[in-house]
Each structure stands twice: as C-alpha cells, then as structure tokens.
Amino acid sequence: MSGQNVQISFDGMPEKLFSCTPYRLETWLDCPKKYRYTYIEIPKPPRGGPWGHTSMGSAVHNALREWFTLPQEQRTDEKGAELVVKHWRSEGFRDDEQSERYRFRAQQWVRQYLTGVNPNDEPRGLERTVSATTERLSLSGRVDRIDERDGELVIVDYKTGKRPPDEIEAGGSLALAIYAIGAERTLRKKCRTVELHHLPSDTKAVYRHDEASLARHVQRAERIAAEALAATSQGRFTATPGALCGYCDYARICTDADREPAQPWAGLDENS
Ligand code: SF4
C-alpha cells in the first residue's frame, strides 16, 4: 500500500493515484450519467427517497454486525431476530402493515442464518474498511465480514436480494475480488476465498480466487477507471437508459430515463 497515495508513473512524471471504491466503478458500468450525478456534479443533485428493500437489507446487515459484537453467550438465534427489530426502519414501505410483514420475514432470515453460525467464532473484521493500491488506483471498500479459517482470510458479503447468487457471480464480482486484495494487504494475511451469503434462501455462493483471477479483476478495475477518467476530462457522460432507470435514485430528474421510477417497495420480493 502507498501511504502518500502518489507514485511515479512509467514516464517518470508523478501521477496521483485515482481513489475509488468498487461501487464507484460499478456505477460507471451501470450508467455514466448516473456516475456524473453521484460523483462529479457539485452541488449534488437531489436523490430519490429511500427504498423498502434497502431498509430491509440495512436492518439485516446491522443486526448481524451487532450480533458478532455481543459476548458469545448472548449470541443466540433469537437475539439476532431481536436485533433486526432494533435496527428496523420503515422508510420505503407502502404502509405499516407491509413494513411489519417484511420485518417479520427479515427476522426469520436472520434466525435461520444464525442456526448455521458458530457463536464462538470471532470474525477478523466487521464492516471493516480495507484498501490496496495498484499501478494506477487506490482501491478501498467496506467488507461485511472477514473470517479467518485454516490460516487464511475469507470475505463474507451478505445478500438480501430476490435471486440467490451462484459461484459464477461470486467469482465474477469485482467488489469481492477487490475486498480480497484489500483484506490481504490490510490484515497481512492470505485471502483467496470470497463468499456471498444469501439470507432469503439461506445459501452460500463460494469462489476461490488464485493470483491470475485476482490480477484479471485488477486489470478490469484499471480499465473501467481509465474509461471513467477519460470521459470525465472530456465532460462526456453518455446515458445508458434501461431496466436500471426504474430503480435509479436520479430517475426523477434525469431526462434520459426511459421509464417511470418504480414504487419504493417494488424491489421487495413478494414470494420470498
Ligand atoms: S435514470 Fe437511467 S439514464 Fe438516467 S442516470 Fe439513472 S440509469 Fe442513467
């Protein structure tokens, strides 16, 4: 890692590293205009209101984080369900009835998930920020959980979306690969395994990286960043309207949106 965030480029000229998170790079891929709204425009344009599925995901993440900070004897399944209530926010739901119904569902997810967790295991990190530099980038990100198993670090990312992810998604995730690289640099221990823990289905998608697959993700991150930087210097942020517009925080102000903004509760899964 670089303490100063500056390095010498190939032509001998000092070059500032581009600081970014996986989310920033993914936002560029989603839609360059959304990237402009999110990272370039000053003052920042108004965003849409909260989403129900985001409120639900936050409550689950916060409950699981706090659960691991409790004394081991208090880490029960039921305590996890209680923590969901503690962290619940009803923003983004249609009404109180819908909010309560999904809160109950989130409690069930957490209770079930924790039946498979050993309360005596201490994670190496909880919502831990990790970072690493590459030739051109200063990458950082916050990891839901970092475990240590068999002498290696393991990246754990909680998912609460509709669809269970698979191994291909775990291996193809730029964010998870960057977390693995960052965790290894930050905590000075080997990290190759990344896991997506899907609470609604109580399934795990696991992928084990090697040097080559991590290097490919770094190259990809550098390509995306180079594209975003070049477009920024030219003020060129071409909108790519599509299905994401319905859930874009800027759909209400974007003249390129190709559909009406979805209802705040549209991302909730009625069948989960
Ligand atoms: S509404 Fe659609 S086109 Fe506009 S910024 Fe968002 S994703 Fe891009």
Q: Distance from the CA of 47 to the center of ligand 1, in angstroms?
A: 12
Q: In whole angstroms, how large is the CA radius of gyration of the chain?
A: 20
Q: What proportion of the chain, given as a percentage, has pLDDT over 70? A: 94
Nearest CA to ligand 1 atom 5: 34
Question: Burial level of 194, CB count in 10 A (0-12/13-18/19+)?
Answer: buried
Residue 157, pLDDT score? 98
Contacts of 40 (CB under 8 A, 6+ apart): 232, 237
Cis peptide before 43 (omega within 30 of 0): yes
Does residue 248 line the site of ligand 1, with CB under 6 A?
yes
Which residue is closest in CA terms to ligand 1's atom 7? 245
Q: What is the pLDDT of residue 16?
A: 82
| pLDDT tens, position by position, 79-97 | 999 999 999 999 999 999 9
- Tell me the pLDDT tens digit for each residue of 185-195: 999 999 999 99
For residue range 130-171, what is the model confidence (pLDDT) as tens digits?
999 999 999 999 999 999 999 999 999 999 999 999 999 999
CA of 240 to the centre of ligand 1 (A): 7
Question: By C-alpha distance, which of 151, 216, 233 is closest to 177?
Answer: 216
* pLDDT of res. 85: 98
**Distance between CA 260 and CA 264 in Å, rounded?**
12
- What is the position in ligand 1's atom list of the atom closest to the CA of 241? 3
Distance 109 CA to ligand 1 centre (A): 32
Per-residue pLDDT, 10? 36
Bridging pattern class, strands 18-20 and 125-133: unpaired
Rounded to 10°, the helix 96-114/52-69 angle is: 40
Chain segment 189-228, per-residue pLDDT in tens? 999 999 999 999 999 999 999 999 999 999 999 999 999 9
pLDDT digits (tens, 9 = 90+) for 12-53: 334 689 999 999 999 999 999 999 999 999 999 999 889 999
The mean pLDDT value of the chain amounts to 93
Coil, helix or strand at residue 12:
coil
CB-based contacts of 18: which residues, under 8 Å, 6+ apart?
136, 137, 138, 225, 229
Distance 251 CA to ligand 1 centre (A): 6
Residue in this structure with the two tokens 């299905």, named with its chain if needed: 243
132 CA distance to ligand 1 middle (Å): 30
Ligand 1 pocket, 177 CB below 6 A?
A: no
249 lines ligand 1 (CB under 6 A): no
- Those residues with Cβ within 8 angstroms of residue 233's Cβ, 6 or more apart along the chain or in another chain: none
- Ligand 1 atom having least distance to the Cα of 248: 6
User: 144: Cβ–Cβ under 8 A, 6 or more apart, which residues?
Assistant: 61, 64, 65, 126, 127, 156, 157, 158
pLDDT for the residue numbered 15 = 66
Q: How far apart are CA 116 and CA 119, in angstroms?
A: 9
Is the CB of 241 inside a 6 Å radius of any atom of ligand 1? yes
Q: How far apart, in Å, do the first and last CA atoms of the chain sit?
A: 42
Q: How many C-beta neighbours within 10 Å does residue 237 have? A: 19
Verdict on whether the full-model pTM lies above 0.85? yes
The span from the CA of 89 to the CA of 84, in Å, is: 10
What is the DSSP secondary structure assignment for residue 181, as one 8-state letter? H
